[in-house]
Amino acid sequence: MITPIEIVENVRDALESRNYKKFAECFHEDGIYERPYALKGTVHQYEGIDEIYNYIATGMAAANKLFEIISVEVELHPCAEQNVIFAEFFLSGKSTKTTETFRIASSAALIFCNGDKIVKYRDFPNSAGIAQAAGTLPQYTESLSLIKVN
């Protein structure tokens, strides 16, 4: 059986290699991927491997054009509960727009594991920071105006 730390390493590797199928396969079949701070009018939660894969693969398709990934690093902070880890992800990349390299705190996640799979992943992405590092902050802020608020 693999440990929660090894599961998070698999997540890190999947993100670095942009292997979103591998990312989704880190989840239990009815695992949950949450974005607690998602904007009103957008989806906050995805459930199941297929739904998680579709969200990540679709959501990252646009980002994949904005920057090359040099590396993804993770700093782990084990919690009191053995199967819970707080992870900080750091992205090193190169903007396809400006050709500048960058390193940024890209997201933080509270990851709940059961056995060798993730049962819940609470993601807190640094979307604006990534857009700024990629040289696309104006386009990012413009895209926010397109979100329909119910």
pLDDT tens per residue across span 59-93: 887 777 889 999 999 999 989 999 999 999 999 99
- Architecture of the domain whose range is 4-144: Roll (3.10)
Give 136 or 71, the one with higher predicted confidence: 71
Question: Of 25, 39, 16, whose CA–CA distance to 121 is shortest?
Answer: 25
CA distance 25 to 48: 10
- Please give the average per-residue pLDDT across 127-136, as a whole number: 88
Per-domain boundaries in the chain: 4-144
pTM above 0.85, yes or no: yes
Across 92-96, 117-121, 133-137, least confident range:
133-137
pLDDT the model gives residue 37: 93
The enclosing H or E element of 34 equals: strand 27-34
pLDDT the model gives residue 134: 85
Bridge partners of 109, per DSSP, are 87, 123
Tell whether the torsion through CA atoms of 138, 135, 89 and 64 is positive or negative. Answer: positive
